[in-house]
Chain A
Amino acid sequence: MAEKPHLNLAVIGHIDHGKSTLVGRLMYETGAIAEHVIEKYREEAKEKGKESFAFAWVMDTLKEERERGITIDIAHKRFDTNKYYFTIVDCPGHRDFVKNMITGASQADAAILVVAAPDGVMAQTKEHVFLSRTLGINQLVIAVNKMDAANYSEERYNEVKEEVSQLLGMVGFKASEIPFIPTSAFEGDNIKEASSNTPWYKGPSILDSLNALTVPDKPDTLPLRIPVQDAYTISGIGTVPVGRVETGVMKKGEKIIFMPSGAVGEVKSIEMHHEEIPEAVPGDNIGWNVRGIGKGDVRRGDVCGPASKPPTVAEEFTGQVVVLQHPSAITVGYTPVFHCHTTQTACTFMSLDKKLDPKSGQVKEENPTYIKAGDAAIITVKPTRPMVIEPVKEIPQLGRFAVRDMGMTIAAGMCMSVKEKK
């Protein structure tokens, strides 16, 4: 049987709003937890007269399995609906992990934003909504969670829905097109089926909404781009860079170029998991043997592309950034490290072009003298040494960056335009 289409799903939201309980509940409801485990607890729970105990025990079982080290792939979980299979990640709350979401392996295709009904929108709710926009996560499902702790009140649900809708509108999401679902992940309300606790709610369940998501197109029609993770010389074989294909397709025999070095060669062979493959597509982790270049011609942070359409090296570029944290104010001349694909390059802020009003996205101030934590802005940046970056509109996978300094993630951003280095 052919495998179902796959989606990467992120669970985002404020700490303690019930994200991990929701992940556990989705596993439980979709049969991702062995039936005998659930059955055993269900019997016990029935004797004690409360079904939700069974779920609590399942959460404990997951924790025990983790402690016994059954699998090391614990940063994500898998569950299936009748339509898709999902890889689900419960995102860390702290902003210092934003760098990993930008430079990490799998970009989320969709996100469930969890907002606890008793609390409403909190600091990390705002931050995660801003970031999902910057990271290009365009499909959202909103779980107004912990409804059991809000007496399943329709009024409270509507208040939170209104508050979240405003926040979504600020960053350019169309709240009217996004499903809002009153849930209790702990009690299981509106996760799989309509709950009798919310007779006033007539919309889809969480699983219905997940089935309504769409699979984004594979970026295999874009130009080839493979950021180099490391490069090797292997005796008897030659020069072998390794990395993950971000966009495009690489074929055996193709003429390729590495930028910024400018080294040109020909793809002799491609291997993935030690097996030779005729072509590599987005998401493949590969090593490729290149004829015509030496190990010294390629290094980490270089980007491989077709010789006919080389990766863009920036003299300068403009970016839209959200400042997440900074102890004081950022002014022209500031030179932190930009993490973009596999490169880490110090870049200087050449000009602060526009400060944006986070409420409307409109320009609030032209040429501000400084920007600080919480601001969104358009800036012009000059790399201190040559680096490849692409406008997010052309090749999104190579257009996002995290700005780091003093051991902190200062800002997240996307490249809007590039002045090419000649």
Chain B
Amino acid sequence: MGDVAATIKIMPEGVDTDLKALAGKLESALPEGTELYGVKEEPVAFGLKALMAVVMLGDAEGGTEPVEVAFAAIDGVEGVQVVEVGRPV
């Protein structure tokens, strides 16, 4: 079926949320069959920063939803939004 790269924007609970610690929790939260490709911080506004995570998943049933649910359940996460999906070249 091939792989899909999903770029997921993760908003923290607040300005004081420890993003490094949050980034460290992403990998272990991932559902089986998915893989964290990379993560970086991105400035948003007024001191708020988002984590941009790229997750590799199968081009198959379910899509990004299991990953969204898993990330949203992590302590310190306010919101999760998939901003892009594409098969990597």
Q: Which A residues are closer than 8 A to B by beta carbons? A: 15, 19-20, 23-24, 27, 62, 66, 69, 72-77, 89-94, 96-97, 99-101, 103-106, 229-230, 232, 234-235, 237, 240, 242, 270-274, 285-289, 300, 342, 404, 407-409
Q: Mark B52-85, 1 if CB is under 8 A from A, else 0.
A: 1010000111111110000000000011011111
Are the C-beta atoms of A100 and B6 separated by less than 8 Å?
Answer: yes
Note all chain A residues with C-beta closer than 8 A to B82: 100, 103-104
Residues facing A in B20-37 (CB within 8 A) are 37
Contact B87–A342 (Cβ < 8 Å): no
A329 to B6, CA, bound (A): 31
* A-side contacts of B2, CB under 8 Å: 15, 93
Q: Which residues of B contact A96 (CB under 8 A)?
A: 60-63, 65
Query: A92-B63, A285-B44, A407-B66 provided; 8 other pairs, C-beta below 8 A?
Result: A72-B40, A75-B54, A76-B86, A92-B87, A100-B64, A103-B82, A237-B46, A289-B46
In the complex, the answer to whether B84 meets A90 with C-beta atoms within 8 Å is: no
Which residues of A lie under 8 Å from residue B65 when comparing CB positions?
96, 99, 404, 407
Prevailing SS type, chain A contact patch: mixed
B89 touches A27 (CB 8 A): yes
**Most chain A C-beta atoms within 10 Å of own C-beta, residue among B9, B37, B81:** B81
Q: In the complex, what residues of A have CB within 8 A of residue B54's CB? A: 72-75
Looking at A285, A288, A404, the one whose CB has the most chain B CB atoms below 10 A away is A285
With A75-B5, A94-B59 as contacts: A234 and B48 at CB distance below 8 Å: yes
Inside 8 A of A93's CB, which chain B residues have their CB?
1-2, 59
Knowing A69-B37, A234-B48, A242-B11 touch, does A94 contact B1 (C-beta < 8 A)? Answer: yes
Q: Are A24 and B61 in contact, CB atoms less than 8 angstroms apart?
A: no
Cβ–Cβ contact B63 & A99, under 8 A: yes
For B84, give its contact among A66, A106, A235, A287 (CB under 8 Å): A106
Are A242's CB and B45's CB within 8 A?
Answer: yes
Residue of A with least CB distance to B13: A232
Inter-chain contact A274/B88, CB cutoff 8 Å: no
The residue on B at minimum CB distance from A101 is B85
How many Å from the CB of A132 to the closest CB on chain B? 15
On whether A287 and B37 interact (CB within 8 A), knowing A100-B64, A230-B11, the answer reads: no
**A19 to B59 CA separation, bound complex (whole angstroms):** 14
**CB contact under 8 A between A273 and B43, given known A74-B5, A100-B82:** yes
Cross-chain contact A300 with B87 (CB below 8 angstroms): no
Given contacts A24-B89, A74-B88, A91-B87, contact A274 B44 (CB under 8 A): yes
Q: State the CA gap A229–B52 with chains docked (Å).
A: 15
User: Would you call B4 an interface residue if the criterion is a C-beta within 8 Å of the partner chain's C-beta atoms?
Assistant: yes
User: Which of B48, B66, B86, B89 sits near A92, CB closer than 8 Å?
Assistant: B86
Complex: chain B residue closest to A10, CB-CB:
B86
Using A62-B89, A274-B43 as known contacts, say yes or no to A232 and B14 having CB atoms under 8 A apart.
Answer: yes
CB distance from A355 to the nearest CB of B (A): 27
- Are B39 and A91 in touch, CB under 8 angstroms? no
- Nearest-neighbour CB distance to chain B for A344, whole angstroms, equals 10
A289: chain B residues at CB < 8 Å are 46
B89-A20 in contact (CB<8A)? yes
Residues of B within 8 A of A100 (CB): 6, 63-64, 82, 84-85
Which of A27, A101, A274 sits near B45, CB closer than 8 Å?
A274
**CA–CA, A15 and B65, complex, Å:** 22
What residues of chain A lie closer than 8 Å to B63, measured between beta carbons? Answer: 92, 94, 96-97, 99-100, 409
| Residue pair B45, A91 in contact (C-beta under 8 Å) | no
Q: How far is the CA of A287 from the CA of B47 in the complex (A)?
A: 10
Q: 7 closest A-B pairs (Cβ-Cβ)? A: A287-B45, A96-B63, A72-B38, A271-B45, A75-B86, A105-B83, A89-B86
> Does the CB pair B4–A92 fall under 8 Å?
yes
**Interface pair B46/A77, CB less than 8 Å apart:** no
Collect the chain B residues with CB atoms within 8 Å of residue A103's CB. 81-82
Residues of B within 8 A of A97 (CB): 4, 59, 63-64, 85
Q: List 18 A-B contacts (CB under 8 A).
A: A72-B7, A74-B54, A75-B85, A89-B85, A94-B63, A97-B4, A97-B63, A97-B85, A99-B63, A100-B63, A105-B83, A230-B11, A230-B78, A232-B15, A234-B48, A273-B43, A407-B62, A408-B61
Query: With a CB–CB cut-off of 8 A, which chain A residues contact B38?
Result: 69, 72
**A77:B89 contact, CB within 8 angstroms:** yes
**Smallest Cβ-Cβ distance to A93: which chain B residue:** B59
